[in-house]
A and B are shown apart, each in its own frame.
Chain A
Amino acid sequence: MKTVRKYYICLLCLIALAGCAAIGQGAGKTQGTGSTAERLVVYCPHPFGLINPIVSEFENQTGIPVEVVTGGTGGLLDRVAAKEQPECDVFWGGSLTSVKPRAELFEDYISANEDMVREEFRNAEGCLTRFTDLPSVLMVNENLQGDISIEGYQDLLDPRLKGKIAMCSPSSSSSAWEHLINMLYAMGDGEPEEGWDYVGQFVANLDGVLLQSSSAVYQGVADGSFVVGLTFEEPAAHYVSVGTPIRIVYMKEGVISRPDVVGIVRGTCHREEAEQFVDFITGKDAQTVITASLDRRTVRSDVKGAEYLPDKEDIHIIYDDEVLTGQKKAQWLERFRELYEQSAPSGQFGGEAGDEAP
């Protein structure tokens, strides 16, 4: 009797064990997928329209598989600093002024194409290779504009636009940060401190609406959620080129045109592939394609500008004091946050301005 019972118990245990093992194995296997060990991981705030053709061609030409992680510049930089999975190898995008304060995250690398890069877009820091030249613009949905005249920052104070303006939090998106600098210099007539009056009125006209990612800005204007958006030239130009009723407005008060950058993340284990990637996107072929069909302005001297984008000479270009801007970043973001919270006490300010090192 007893032995029979023991025998049964043993059998039961064996079956249970086998079952557990099988389940465990199955679960373990599922967990093990998604290995990115052989992939080059690129963090990128660019829209897919720009990313896909370039990444795909890079893969085809070099045979190196790439995994792209998209998001806002500020958020992605935080993820690089936190060494989140998948660990970033190349940080591609983000305006110079938003990435430069986090220059310690990047390794020095001078690309093979540096000689062909225009003087003003040289890699002065050693770790931040310029990728393209990006003017800040207003993107207007022509169908919704009606009889509101939108030609510059001043027009954004129109009460009819209250709550209809798409802007990102300057702490999470480099396009919004560039627009804040642009506003301060353009509306303060070269003296950023003078521009804060305007920023206060402008923030009040946002009516508490502040978006989290730059893609939400151009998508919001294109799908009609907003009448006007503060963004870079490229995504707006893309919508123009595909026939969306979008108009690009270069602010009559002045436009700051800033290069965006690409950097190799410190401590990458794909250094060689990362260098190949930087060389590829700054190479003549890629820059030609970018200029010809991807709505961007090149940094190279040997590539002609796009025919459908206005020449820089025709735009009222102004310049900021980059050193000052760099020093004041935390302070200005804080001030912007305060203005925003005054105007919309219940609103949520995207990201913490204090996180950004000066």
Chain B
Amino acid sequence: MKKQERYFQDELRRLLISYAIVPALVFALVSGVIFVTVLLYGRYRSVQRENQYVAEELQRVLDGYVGGLEELEQLPDLFAPDSGVREKQRLYETIYRLQNETRYPADFHVFDRDGKEHGEEPPEYLGRKGDANWGIFAAMDRRPGQVVIQLRNGWDSQEGVLAIGKSVEKGGYLVFTISSRQMQPILNQLNTQVIVTDAFGWAYLGNASLFLTENNQVRAALQGDDWFLTVDGKGYLAVRQAVEPGCLMAYSVTSIQNIVTSLVSSGLLMATALLGMSLWLLMASGRVTEKKTADFYQILDVLEQVKQGNLDSAISIRSENEFQVIADACNEMMSGLKEQLEKNQKMAVLVAAAQNKQLESQFNPHFLFNTLENIRYMCKLEPATAERMVFNLSGLLRYSLNGSEAEVTLREDMEHLENYLSILQYRFGERFHCRMEVEPEVLECRIPKLVMQPMIENAVKYGFGKQEKLEVEVKAYRNGDRLMMICRDDGVGMTQELVYELTHLLDQEENSSRHCGLYNIHRRILLLYGYPNGVEIRSTEGYGTTLIVRLPFRREE
């Protein structure tokens, strides 16, 4: 049983593993990926929203002041040294309105053609108009009549100024300036980090110093178009959008380090749990399935024993499941089978005994007839011999009729064989000679009664033919756990057909022919000891016949 392959248990175990561990891993992975995606996407959307907000605010402010420039340009006497009260009032009305509309106040400057404001030099950050063609004035001069937007002092994180200017035909320059400090409130409502730069990467506004160089320029990493960045080993999501294309860029960044950290820790937690579960399952599955399949294998074990003929074992199952039903049915079936077999066996024994008795009591009538005929002659010629012959014959008959025991020792059988041999000696005189060669060791062997007599009878029957003399040799010896009895004669032998016919006859269940001597012993041996014991005939025409009787070697106890 131990050596037997336990396919059913293995299958059950594999089932447990592939429907528990594998799905758990797959679901954990899939849900992890979905979780990450959803989290990151949510964060990305919020960055995108805030970036959109910053860009739109900036665009609104720029549009407001660009529109304001065009509006103010229409005012008369803007460049007159002493404009009237009315003009001044209109000017201030417009400026205040613009400031309130945009919500981010700008300073307004009017410069004459020499770049002077009421005779004063312009603020240094705007660049000079005088000797050098520099700064916003240079840009306005290059494109007269067009609005120019330029970031001034972008390298200074505190002093950056956005200048919106225009060279006006009427004789000067109009410039709005919005310092980065004035725009600062735009950053206050945001959760993400923001950098606003000009086209060349100089920062105007920003609260993400990590992404600025020491020179207040946006780092190259942010300028690409990647939505995911790593800086100093930390992950960031980035969104960028142009404002007033070619003028400003708004960058939004948010750290996803907290997402990464929580993901890593929950991932570790999950991995540990899964690992523990997998290990437990791998270890326990053997034990659990063994317990669960124990009943099954017990039934199998018993059935295996039944197959080999052992009906004595019974299945004992105490689990209250289907196996109980199967086991009960099996037990019932087996006990029924056992009862039936016992009955059959008893019957067979009875039948064999009856048959044996019947067979051993059969005595060849030809022999009886021949002997009696001889005795009749002897009565006239040698009455003393006739008397001994009658004595021998009667001893032989008594022995054969004594039905009390089926088996005798070889010695006993040989003693009674003497009667038969004497009779043959009287009958054939010098023509017949028999030699016995029996190993002392086998003398006490148990054999069926009257086995040797039919062997010699057979030799006499088929041996003489037209021969004058017949020599018969009988041997008995032990061959392993077998007793071999061999009867060889130097008679005429048998034809192949006869040997075949006799061998075939021996295997018949019923005997209807006259060769009943050999058949009887073969039949009795089979009934008593079973195959492969029995009688074998070997003969070659002209060279005599050999009979071999195989019996189990069993001695008198």
Q: Which A residues form the contact surface with B (CB < 8 A)?
A: 1, 4-5, 8, 11-12, 15, 18-19, 26-27, 29-30, 32-36, 48, 51-53, 56-57, 59-61, 63, 65-68, 284-286, 288-289, 292-293
What separation, in Å, do the CA atoms of A28 and B26 have in the docked complex? 27
User: Can you list 13 A-B pairs, Cβ within 8 angstroms, ordered by A?
Assistant: A8-B22, A30-B226, A30-B228, A33-B222, A33-B224, A34-B220, A34-B223, A48-B214, A56-B202, A61-B139, A284-B132, A285-B138, A292-B128
What separation, in Å, do the CA atoms of A65 and B199 have in the docked complex? 8
What separation, in Å, do the CA atoms of A67 and B217 have in the docked complex? 10
Residues B154 and A11 in contact, CB atoms below 8 Å apart: no
Q: Which of B11-19, B437-445, B545-553 contacts A (4 or more CB under 8 A)?
A: B11-19
Q: Which residues of B contact A61 (CB under 8 A)?
A: 138-139, 142
Residues B132 and A292 in contact, CB atoms below 8 Å apart: yes
What separation, in Å, do the CA atoms of A53 and B159 have in the docked complex? 13
Q: Which residues of A contact B394 (CB under 8 A)?
A: none
What separation, in Å, do the CA atoms of A36 and B201 have in the docked complex? 13
Q: Which residues of A contact B135 (CB under 8 A)?
A: 57
Q: Which residues of A contact B201 (CB under 8 A)?
A: 65
Please report which residues of chain B, range 188-206, place their CB below 8 angstroms from some CB of chain A when the two chains form the complex: 199-202
Q: Which residues of A contact B202 (CB under 8 A)?
A: 56
Residues B220 and A36 in contact, CB atoms below 8 Å apart: yes
Please report which residues of chain B, range 428-454, place their CB below 8 angstroms from some CB of chain A when the two chains form the complex: none
Pick the contact of A30: B33, B131, B134, B221 (CB < 8 A).
B221
Residues A292 and B131 in contact, CB atoms below 8 Å apart: yes
Pick the contact of B224: A27, A29, A68 (CB < 8 A).
A29
B329 at the interface (CB under 8 A from A): no
Given the known inter-chain contacts A15-B33, A33-B220, A286-B132, please indicate yes or no for A59 contacting B200, CB distance below 8 A. yes
Q: Which residues of B contact A8 (CB under 8 A)?
A: 18, 22-23, 26
Residues A288 and B230 in contact, CB atoms below 8 Å apart: no
Residues A56 and B128 in contact, CB atoms below 8 Å apart: no
B169 at the interface (CB under 8 A from A): no
What separation, in Å, do the CA atoms of A63 and B246 have in the docked complex? 10
Residues A33 and B215 in contact, CB atoms below 8 Å apart: no
What separation, in Å, do the CA atoms of A65 and B29 have in the docked complex? 46
B155 at the interface (CB under 8 A from A): yes
Q: B123 to chain A: closest CB distance in Å?
A: 13
B14, B15, B25, B226 — which one has the most chain A CB atoms within 10 A of its CB? B226
What separation, in Å, do the CA atoms of A310 and B150 have in the docked complex? 35
B133 at the interface (CB under 8 A from A): yes
- Interface bits B217-243 vs A (CB < 8 Å: 1, else 0): 000111110101110000000000000
What separation, in Å, do the CA atoms of A15 and B22 have in the docked complex? 13
Given the known inter-chain contacts A8-B18, A56-B155, A65-B201, please indicate yes or no for A289 contacting B226, CB distance below 8 A. no
B122 at the interface (CB under 8 A from A): no
Residues A293 and B220 in contact, CB atoms below 8 Å apart: no
Residues A65 and B200 in contact, CB atoms below 8 Å apart: yes
Residues B26 and A11 in contact, CB atoms below 8 Å apart: yes
B38 at the interface (CB under 8 A from A): no
B497 at the interface (CB under 8 A from A): no
Residues A15 and B30 in contact, CB atoms below 8 Å apart: yes
Pick the contact of B226: A12, A32, A56, A284 (CB < 8 A).
A32
Residues B15 and A289 in contact, CB atoms below 8 Å apart: no
What separation, in Å, do the CA atoms of A29 and B222 have in the docked complex? 11
Given the known inter-chain contacts A29-B224, A33-B221, A56-B155, please indicate yes or no for A1 contacting B131, CB distance below 8 A. no
Q: Which residues of B contact A292 (CB under 8 A)?
A: 128, 131-132
Q: Which residues of A contact B15 (CB under 8 A)?
A: 1
Across the interface, name the chain B residue whose C-beta is closest to A66. B200
Q: Which residues of B contact A29 (CB under 8 A)?
A: 224, 226, 228
Residues B224 and A289 in contact, CB atoms below 8 Å apart: no
B415 at the interface (CB under 8 A from A): no
What separation, in Å, do the CA atoms of A66 and B215 have in the docked complex? 13
Please report which residues of chain B, range 61-90, place their CB below 8 angstroms from some CB of chain A when the two chains form the complex: none
Q: Supply 18 further A-B pairs (C-beta < 8 A) apart from A30-B229, A60-B200.
A: A1-B18, A8-B23, A15-B26, A15-B33, A27-B230, A30-B226, A33-B221, A33-B223, A33-B224, A34-B223, A35-B220, A57-B134, A57-B135, A59-B199, A60-B150, A285-B132, A289-B128, A289-B132
